[in-house]
Chain A
Amino acid sequence: MENSTELTLEQLQKQVELLQKKVGKLEKNRKDQLAIAIVSGDMDKVLAAMVISLAAAAMDTQVKLFFSFWSLSALRDPKKSPKGKDFISKMFGIMLPKGKDKLKLSNMNMAGMGPMMIKMLMKKQNVLSLDEMFKQAGDLGVEITVCEMSMGLMGFKKEEMIDYPNLRFAGAATFVADAGESAMQLFI
């Protein structure tokens, strides 16, 4: 009789250890973290991504943003003009919005009238401007990674990106790793 109770105790201990290992793994896998891949360069979509990021950061959720493709326009600093670009890169540079203030709306753009009206309304309704949102995001520790490949594709240079704390330049694997350990992942 005594033997059998010892055995079950031992089994129980083993199971507890196994469970602890699994729970530990789960905890490590899914952090209180939000990862967003921002691909769109539309003002409304970048705005949505930033509002969600700020809310998450305020709620103590770690936020990691991955800027790729059209969204890179939002990260261009209008005051910086890097030298040494080839012809196509220069063309892209001219055709794409230079900075978050120049982004278009995905709807009702109306040759720039739409964004102007939205900005007016945002001011009137006390919504933070995109500029202020990026500043707040930096203060709250929101991490921004710039997709190196898209940057090369569009001929953007690191030197023309905005000043942002710890701006990282990396590839898709960085987003996959960030997203994999996040409890929330979004694609905008």
Chain B
Amino acid sequence: MTTEELKNVKSNLVVDARGTACPGPLLAAKKAIGDIESGEILEVLSADEGTKNDIPRWCEKVGHEYLGFYDEDSFSRLFLIKE
């Protein structure tokens, strides 16, 4: 998805993991994914650069659909659809 498309995405749940470094954001996402239904959208806020690579790999392995990310000033927003 392009940044413009991602900016219009309505997330069902936003998890703020900006206060943790690797593997904190992944742990936060893993916990949060249990709180939404299949087909719903999870948005992860992360200030950890590695997360941009880690979340897609997690999605690939577990089966969630990774939509992409865009950068804010000091962090990134990552989007995925629960399997």
Cβ of A156 to closest chain B Cβ, rounded Å: 29
By a CB distance below 8 angstroms, the chain B residues around A128 are 20-21, 24
The answer for the CA separation of A125 and B47 in the assembled complex, in Å, is 10
Cβ of B17 to closest chain A Cβ, rounded Å: 9
A55 to B19, Cβ gap below 8 A? no
B27 to A136, Cβ gap below 8 A? yes
By a CB distance below 8 angstroms, the chain A residues around B21 are 125-128
By a CB distance below 8 angstroms, the chain A residues around B54 are 55
A11-32, CB < 8 A from B? none
The answer for the CA separation of A160 and B54 in the assembled complex, in Å, is 37
Count A-side interface residues using an 8 Å CB cutoff.
12
The answer for the CA separation of A55 and B27 in the assembled complex, in Å, is 7
The answer for the CA separation of A136 and B54 in the assembled complex, in Å, is 18
What are the interface flags for A105-128 relative to B under an 8 Å C-beta threshold, 1 for contact and 0 otherwise? Answer: 000000000000000000001111
The prevalent SS among residues of B at the interface is: helix
B30 to A51, Cβ gap below 8 A? no
A54 to B20, Cβ gap below 8 A? no
By a CB distance below 8 angstroms, the chain A residues around B24 are 126-128
Q: Is A59 an interface residue (CB 8 A)?
A: yes
Cβ of A141 to closest chain B Cβ, rounded Å: 12
Query: Which residue of chain B has the shortest Cβ distance to A55 in the bound complex?
Result: B23
Query: Which residue of chain A has the shortest Cβ distance to B24 in the bound complex?
Result: A128
Q: Is A60 an interface residue (CB 8 A)?
A: yes
B20 to A58, Cβ gap below 8 A? no
A51 to B62, Cβ gap below 8 A? no
Q: Which 5 A-B pairs have the closest CB atoms?
A: A58-B30, A55-B23, A127-B21, A58-B26, A126-B21
Which B residues fall within an 8 A CB radius of A?
A: 19-24, 26-27, 29-30, 47, 54, 57-58, 61-62
A–B complex contacts, Cβ < 8 Å, 25 sampled: A51-B23, A54-B23, A54-B26, A54-B27, A55-B22, A55-B23, A55-B26, A58-B23, A58-B26, A58-B27, A58-B29, A58-B30, A58-B58, A59-B26, A59-B30, A59-B58, A126-B20, A126-B24, A127-B22, A127-B24, A128-B20, A128-B21, A128-B24, A136-B27, A140-B30
